Amino acid sequence: MKLYDFQGAPHPRRVNIYLLEKGIEVPREHVDITTQENRKPPYTEKNPVGSIPILELDDGTCISESVAICRYFEALHPDPPLFGTTPLEIATIDMWLRRVELSLMSPVGTVWIHDHPLTAGMFDQIKPAADQARITAAFGYKVLDDQLGNATFIAGETYSIADAVGLATVDFAVDLVGVPYGDDMVNLKRWHEMVSARPSAAGKLPTDFDF
């Protein structure tokens, strides 16, 4: 088993946070996204989409997509549970996981593509798309802030995969993309500081990251 990884990038970081929370160690192979190693063979033979990370099993089977990788490990190592145990817990965690993905990570990714100097040479940037995405991200932050006014963690009173994905997303948005949450979002700030203090939170991208 081997995890193809780029330490600190938002999607690999989700998996790294998850694995640290579970106490699971997996051999790693670094894939250099700064040289687009993930966009050409032999990497694309394992994942034609070119996304990071990939989990390659001993028989050569490859699993891509960060949450799918985490679900695989959850089935192998159910304790401590990070995807829930009861039908309601599982559904609630999945609901908030989707909200983080759709209402925050997706628009932040749009800003990254269409309004960031590091990606200017890689994409035909459309600034109005980034402007609209900032509005969507602000809404996503508001949804999280409201939820965290009534719960310790994103999906309730227990740390879950939604928090791992949420932290990787918020750090990417705030530290690198330039999409911060407002100072008035005290619940989100409280959560962000709390989960950032966990040992699993180590390994962010440096603020001077470059291609």
Give the start-to-end residue ranges of the domains of the chain.
2-76, 87-201
Could you tell me the pLDDT band of residue 201, with boundaries at 50, 70 and 90?
very high
Nearest-angstrom CA–CA distance, 73 and 51: 19
User: From 3.40.50.300, 2.60.40.10, 1.10.3720.10, 3.40.30.10, which CATH number describes the 2-76 domain?
Assistant: 3.40.30.10
Tokens of 14: 């989700």
List, as one string, the DSSP characters of 9-54. Answer: SHHHHHHHHHHHHHT----EEE--GGGTGGGSTTHHHH-TT--S-E
Supply the pTM of this predicted model. Answer: 0.95
Domain 87-201: assigned CATH number: 1.20.1050.10
Per residue in 40-73, pLDDT tens?
Answer: 999 999 999 999 999 999 999 999 999 999 999 9
